[in-house]
Amino acid sequence: MNNTVTCIDCGCTYVQSHPGERIVHGYRHKKILSYNAYHADDNKWPTYIFFEIREEIVKRASRILRTDDKSAREKEKAALEIFRVWWLTSFESLLFSASLSRTLETHPDFPSYVLSAIENQNHVQEILTREVRERLIVWANRKHANTQGIRWNSLGEVLARKK
């Protein structure tokens, strides 16, 4: 039986009957609440997405990016869905650092993350057509993306930090 629950306080989804998931949730819960105590609105911890859902989002969006008869608008939207999953994963890797940074400055915001990934990550450039890339750059700049100081972790292709 799959009794998946979403915690209304921290937004994490986990399987309640699974002891390991309960322990991980307890650990994340404490860290996310202490993080959110210092931040408001858009700067709060990003909404959690269950891992199976992430895989589905990336799979479906990747299919759209590879389909010739999808419009640039649809592909732009699909690319942003993939980026949001990667960004969340990158953000979450902060959870496992010894001390949770209390300032958002140690992780790029979403538009900055997208722009830096397009400019610096080869695996990203390969999945986007030039037109989609250009649309995303316009989108990110309109949202005041700032890529200054962003470093990419060479081990995890989607993990970014800001100095």
Using the rule CB under 5 A, is 104 a contact of Zn ion?
no
User: In whole angstroms, what is the distance from residue 85 CA to residue 91 CA?
Assistant: 10
Which residues on adjacent β-strands are paired with residue 152? 160
Least separation in angstroms between CB 29 and Zn ion: 3
49 vs 124 by CB, closer to Zn ion = 49
Report the site for Zn ion in 116-145 (rule: CB under 5 A): none
16 vs 125 by CB, closer to Zn ion = 16
- Cβ(117)–Cβ(63) under 8 Å? no
Question: Taken in order 96, 97, 101, 107, is the CA torsion positive or negative?
Answer: negative
User: In whole angstroms, what is the distance from residue 58 CA to residue 121 CA?
Assistant: 17
**CA distances to 8, 34, 71, 132 from 37, in Å:** 15, 5, 42, 37
7 vs 15 by CB, closer to Zn ion = 7
# binding residues, Zn ion (CB under 5 A): 4
Report the site for Zn ion in 5-34 (rule: CB under 5 A): 7, 9-10, 29
31 vs 107 by CB, closer to Zn ion = 31
Least separation in angstroms between CB 50 and Zn ion: 14
Cα three-residue angle 137-114-53, rounded to 5 degrees: 130
11 vs 77 by CB, closer to Zn ion = 11
Least separation in angstroms between CB 95 and Zn ion: 12
Q: Which region holds residue 69: left if phi is over 0, alpha if psi is between -120 and 50, else beta? A: alpha
Least separation in angstroms between CB 36 and Zn ion: 11
Which residue's Cβ has the minimum distance to Zn ion?
7
Binding residues (CB under 5 A) for Zn ion: these are 7, 9-10, 29
